[in-house]
Amino acid sequence: MQDASGLTDRLVALLGRSNVLLPGDDQEPYTVDWRGRYRGEALAVVRPGSTPEVAKVVRLSAEAGVAIVPQGGNTGLCGAAVPSGGRPSVIVRLDRMRRIREVSPLANTITVEAGCVLADIQSAAQAADRLFPLSLGAEGSCRIGGNIGTNAGGTAVLRYGPTRELVLGIEAVLPDGRVFNGLRALRKDNTGYDLKQLFIGAEGTLGIVTAAVLKLFARPRTSALALAMLESVDQAIALMGLLRGEVGDRIASLEIMSRGQIEAIAATCPDTAIPFPLDAPWYLIVELTDTLAGIDLRAPLEAALGLALERELITDAIVAASEAQAKAIWRVRHSVSEGNKRSGFVVSHDSAVPLDRQAAFVTGVERRILAAVPHARVVMHGHIGDGNIHVVALVDPARVTDPAEAERVVRLINEAVDDETRAQNGAISAEHGIGQSNLGRLARVTDPLELDLMRAIKGVLDPAGLMNPGKVLAQR
Amino acid sequence: MQDASGLTDRLVALLGRSNVLLPGDDQEPYTVDWRGRYRGEALAVVRPGSTPEVAKVVRLSAEAGVAIVPQGGNTGLCGAAVPSGGRPSVIVRLDRMRRIREVSPLANTITVEAGCVLADIQSAAQAADRLFPLSLGAEGSCRIGGNIGTNAGGTAVLRYGPTRELVLGIEAVLPDGRVFNGLRALRKDNTGYDLKQLFIGAEGTLGIVTAAVLKLFARPRTSALALAMLESVDQAIALMGLLRGEVGDRIASLEIMSRGQIEAIAATCPDTAIPFPLDAPWYLIVELTDTLAGIDLRAPLEAALGLALERELITDAIVAASEAQAKAIWRVRHSVSEGNKRSGFVVSHDSAVPLDRQAAFVTGVERRILAAVPHARVVMHGHIGDGNIHVVALVDPARVTDPAEAERVVRLINEAVDDETRAQNGAISAEHGIGQSNLGRLARVTDPLELDLMRAIKGVLDPAGLMNPGKVLAQR
């Protein structure tokens, strides 16, 4: 990769040699995504230490006509954080900017730099007797700038909303190097267009988030957990309705797994005990929490499940008698990815549909996948309170040793899932985003008018098309 | 007002004469805002009955180069819903589009057309044993399209967020007459830029919202109310912190009033009894609610207030012993506007500041106002859990009989409030918006970069500048 413009020299002069990785250096942790699916090339990987430095890097790169790729923890699933298309790029890592600038338990806010690791933000909130609810598998290494850029979801969306709803203010460097200073800790602000929304979930294509003011919440102090066995997703939805009436807004988690999903774990993860009989088609983890200590949540949970049994909404249920039992149940849920990886060639999906369309969706999607790829095994798990059921097709690796055949199988499964998602008025990505992986799928199912609007927004903020090109929208 | 283009004939042909008010007809309820401060002119006031009809009206108007002004209930406070600047306009009323298309208690969603009156949506939710939490003074006549267009606030923001957080999906007619169909009932959607955000709070300048999918919630079934007497806003903030620890997320309202505010009511509203002694500088209404029936909220509220007394965060408190007593206390809060109107020439403000800057803000803003206009009386009330304190300057009408002097006084007070708001890193409008009223104030306090970005967004969606021109952004 050539640097005809002398850009790298200017970047080294700006940041110091130790904060610039050049092509001869070990760039691989940053140019390749963590699953090894996307391999980009970089003129330089830079580590600015402040917002003005980020701005200068962007300005220098823009002047040289070089693409800019913002990168947080590089834990994304869709290749949004590494360069694409073989064009010369500068990767901007935010990892030196990890200061927690302020925690205000009175205002219930925390102000953080984009490079803060999510788990560090959770800890800082807890130290102030508050909760920062965003929680997901990668929390030990993902960074809040990436969480904001991808509008991360995770396990607390049902109660607290996705990242978008947790952000009060944003500071971002625009594609021309100017700094948008929207770092305001305001619960209400009706002074014109809400510009910060542009940067949330845009996957770094409209600018680089450099800092944010986030919401904090009262900490949950009590919890109760049950596992319900069900005949169908319809029953799970009805149970959700009943629980809403009986326990109000104490519902913290509603995580569903198909029997096939648990069987895949049971067969491949010897360390994960399955502490319940495997004889129901569906399993639902119900967790209630309360922000008050000393509240009895078990009694209302047991009462609600008793009512559900009476109304034949569930076939059986276990209420965890101890913290250990609750953990053992969660462990099954947390073994899902590992179990699937060990069960075959994985084609996994991240659809969202309206809550009341989930039963029709799971039936329809399985039918479509099996019609297209009869030898696939379809297992499912997901956040049923969010309408977000992960559909996973497991394929015998022996059948996809030929790359062309593997590609064909993936395409057929993707089309089956996307067609059913569209038929249910859903979205093909609930949490993971578009990145490089899903450009073609997005273009296939999205109203051209929406793509037009996205391109119009992109065009006006980044007319040269240098900010994380080839992500979200295909390059033309 | 001339119609050289023949547009009105085409509008009559499209909608029928009965759905088009021409200049000879009684247009006044629609061309003048409800407070009578803004008087516009209209080529026609039209009442389309469907989204395709709205789209056709927009297309015909755009072809004729005529401005379009969307109008809901015409209850706004800043003149956003009536034509400005004397240019030929078509006012598009949504009031025939008032169908509630679907209520799903299972999905916790309601799908409504833009012309639905807010109170009708609240009732439909209640009929399904759910809560639609948006609640504000004009709820009997404002329409949801206007609430979305202005990102309405109201009394439930502390617990449920502003309108923006209550909207899952939007359908809108773009300035070129195309229809954005984002009417999706999805809790999670990461398929590209979140385009619906553009239309929320844009005051109709980027398109006309024609329908929406809104969130529903579990209904509160228990409540408890107290009135606390305080020495300062600092104490109110500390009490809020204490309550968060003691009663978790059960806090539904934290409404503060200065003694001067209540004295203004006491002096002018004989029908409003003041059921407590008027000897403290500040009064705070604390309301707790729970979505479960049969929960005792009074005991924890009394305990928390006891603790607050012990820690000298409050000087006294009354816990309402009955529904009637609670209502009598709320009645004082609800008499604020009437009391102020009867107390003088009113210059009222709608600032938001970070929650922990409210004490500094109230001190600073009073000092600045009195320095600029020594004869003003400053009273305050507001939503202290949202950082939104309404600062109201009451001026003796005898001092502002001269319009030029009235204008000078208003300008001085506005500048005093806006300067202090900016000093506290706040926003000059928390709820009411910009409309026509606050164009100059917005331009005065806003970072030019933000205005640039707003203009860029406006320019790309509405290049001809025909969609509600002269609102939010001044015409150039």
Q: Per the structure, how many domains does chain A have? A: 4
Do B316 and B348 lie in one domain? The reply is no
Contact B426 A105 (CB under 8 A): no
User: Cα distance from A243 to chain B (closest Cα, Å)?
Assistant: 10
Alpha helix (H) ranges present in B373-447? 403-423, 439-445
- Which residues between 194 and 213 in chain B have a beta carbon less than 8 angstroms from any beta carbon of chain A? 194-195, 197-198, 200-202, 206
Identify the domain boundary among B408, B430, B452: B430
Do B270 and B319 lie in one domain? The reply is yes
Smallest CA-to-CA distance from B136 within B72, B49, B210, B212 is with: B72
Q: At A74, which CATH number? A: 3.30.43.10
Q: Which residues have C-beta within 8 Å of that of residue B152, sequence separation ≥ 6?
A: B134, B136, B142, B146, B162, B163, B431
Question: Exposed/middle/buried for A273, CB within 10 Å: 0-12, 13-18, 19+?
Answer: exposed
Do B166 and B248 lie in one domain? The reply is no
Q: At B417, which CATH number? A: 3.30.70.2740
Q: Which amino acid does the sequence have at B122? A: Q
Do B234 and B213 lie in one domain? The reply is no
Residues forming beta bridges with residue B169, ordered by sequence position: B213
Residues B353 and B425 sit within 8 Å (Cβ to Cβ): yes
- Dist CA A119 CA A124 (whole Å): 9
Out of B187, B290, B446, the one facing A248 most closely (by C-beta) is B290
Residues A359 and A317 sit within 8 Å (Cβ to Cβ): no
Q: Which amino acid does the sequence have at A314? A: I
- Dist CA B307 CA B284 (whole Å): 16
CA-nearest residue to B105 within chain A is A241
Contact A355 B433 (CB under 8 A): no
Rounded to 10 degrees, what is the CA torsion of A379, A382, A387, A391?
-30
Q: Which residues have C-beta within 8 Å of that of residue A91, sequence separation ≥ 6?
A: A27, A30, A31, A40, A42, A44, A45, A46, A69, A71, A82, A83
DSSP A429: B
- Domain assignment of residue B203, yes or no: yes
Residue A293 has what pLDDT? 81
Question: Exposed/middle/buried for B4, CB within 10 Å: 0-12, 13-18, 19+?
Answer: exposed
Residue A157: its chain B contacts at CB < 8 A? 187-188
Do B133 and B173 lie in one domain? The reply is yes
Out of A184, A244, A248, the one facing B427 most closely (by C-beta) is A184
Do A287 and A352 lie in one domain? The reply is no
CA-nearest residue to A167 within chain B is B165
Residues A287 and A253 sit within 8 Å (Cβ to Cβ): yes
Q: At A106, which CATH number? A: 3.30.465.10
Contact B221 A151 (CB under 8 A): no
Residue A456: its chain B contacts at CB < 8 A? 460-461
- Dist CA B155 CA B153 (whole Å): 7
Smallest CA-to-CA distance from B163 within B431, B363, B346 is with: B431
- Domain assignment of residue A210, yes or no: yes
CA-nearest residue to A192 within chain B is B472
Contact A456 B461 (CB under 8 A): yes
Alpha-carbon distances of B179 from A188, A338, A447, B234, rounded to whole Å: 29, 44, 11, 49
Q: How many CA atoms lie within 13 A of A12 on its CB side?
A: 10
Regions in chain B scoring below 70 on pLDDT = 1-4
Contact B355 A237 (CB under 8 A): no
First to last CA, chain A: 22
Regions in chain A scoring below 50 on pLDDT = none
Smallest CA-to-CA distance from A91 within A153, A32, A164, A179 is with: A32
Smallest CA-to-CA distance from A116 within A91, A147, A90, A137 is with: A147
- Domain assignment of residue B132, yes or no: yes
Residue B4 has what pLDDT? 65
Contact B186 A426 (CB under 8 A): yes
Residue with tokens 């000078």: B408
Do B424 and B404 lie in one domain? The reply is yes
Smallest CA-to-CA distance from B291 within B218, B393, B362 is with: B218
- Dist CA B25 CA B31 (whole Å): 12
- Domain assignment of residue B83, yes or no: no
In the numeric block, which tokens belong to residue A270? 């010897």
Smallest CA-to-CA distance from A406 within A325, A330, A344 is with: A344
- Dist CA B195 CA B208 (whole Å): 14
Residues A380 and A354 sit within 8 Å (Cβ to Cβ): no
Smallest CA-to-CA distance from A237 within A119, A357, A318, A344 is with: A357
Question: How far from chain centre, in Å, is Cα A87?
Answer: 27
Do A313 and A372 lie in one domain? The reply is no
Strand, coil or helix: what is B211? Answer: strand
CA-nearest residue to B161 within chain A is A187
- Domain assignment of residue B370, yes or no: yes
Phi-psi region of A192 (alpha: psi -120 to 50; beta: other; left: phi over 0): left
- Domain assignment of residue B466, yes or no: no
- Dist CA B192 CA A428 (whole Å): 11
Do A382 and A417 lie in one domain? The reply is yes
Contact B386 A192 (CB under 8 A): no
A vs B: CB pairs below 8 A:
262
Out of A107, A197, A431, the one facing B194 most closely (by C-beta) is A197
Q: Which residues have C-beta within 8 Å of that of residue B349, sequence separation ≥ 6?
A: B390, B391, B392, B414, B417, B428
User: Cα distance from A162 to chain B (closest Cα, Å)?
Assistant: 7
Identify the domain boundary among A183, A201, A218: A218
Give the range of the structural domain holding residue B263, as residue numbers without chain letter.
Answer: 222-325
**Residues, chain A:** 476
Q: Which residues have C-beta within 8 Å of that of residue A398, sequence separation ≥ 6?
A: none
Q: Which residues have C-beta within 8 Å of that of residue B18, sequence separation ≥ 6?
A: none
In the numeric block, which tokens belong to residue B74? 């015409």
- Domain assignment of residue A294, yes or no: yes
CA angle B453-A208-A29, nearest 5°?
165
Residues B226 and B276 sit within 8 Å (Cβ to Cβ): no
A432 near B CB under 8 A: yes
Contact A241 B185 (CB under 8 A): no
Do A249 and A209 lie in one domain? The reply is no
Q: At B292, which CATH number? A: 3.30.70.2190
Residues B305 and B242 sit within 8 Å (Cβ to Cβ): no
Kindly report the backbone phi and psi dihedral angles of residue B287, in degrees, each rounded to the nearest multiple of 5, phi listed first: -120, 130
- Dist CA B83 CA B472 (whole Å): 13
Strand, coil or helix: what is A74? Answer: coil
DSSP B32: B
Strands B89-93 and B44-46, sheet pairing: parallel
Residues forming beta bridges with residue A179, ordered by sequence position: A173
Residue A195: its chain B contacts at CB < 8 A? 450, 453-454
Residue A1 has what pLDDT? 53
Q: How many CA atoms lie within 13 A of B294 on its CB side?
A: 3
Which pLDDT tens digit goes with each residue over A117-136? Answer: 999 999 999 999 999 999 99
Identify the domain boundary among A432, A451, A471: A432
Do A83 and A168 lie in one domain? The reply is no
Contact B187 A447 (CB under 8 A): no
- Dist CA B30 CA B48 (whole Å): 15
Kindly report the backbone phi and psi dihedral angles of residue B70, in degrees, each rounded to the nearest multiple of 5, phi listed first: -75, 145
User: Cα distance from A25 to chain B (closest Cα, Å)?
Assistant: 34
In the numeric block, which tokens belong to residue A49? 């230490």
Alpha-carbon distances of B465 from A189, B102, B219, rounded to whole Å: 24, 35, 43
Do A210 and A139 lie in one domain? The reply is yes
- Dist CA A215 CA A107 (whole Å): 9
Question: How far from chain centre, in Å, is Cα A145?
Answer: 13
Q: ipTM score of the complex?
A: 0.96
- Dist CA A305 CA A243 (whole Å): 8
Strands A251-258 and A282-290, sheet pairing: antiparallel
- Which residues between 311 and 340 in chain A have a beta carbon less than 8 angstroms from any beta carbon of chain B? none
User: Cα distance from B87 to chain A (closest Cα, Å)?
Assistant: 22
- Domain assignment of residue A265, yes or no: yes
Smallest CA-to-CA distance from B357 within A334, A126, A107, A286 is with: A107
Strand, coil or helix: what is B18? Answer: helix
Residue A4 has what pLDDT? 65
A181 near B CB under 8 A: yes
- Dist CA A205 CA A194 (whole Å): 18
Positive/negative CA dihedral, A465, A469, A472, A473: positive
- Dist CA A269 CA A343 (whole Å): 10
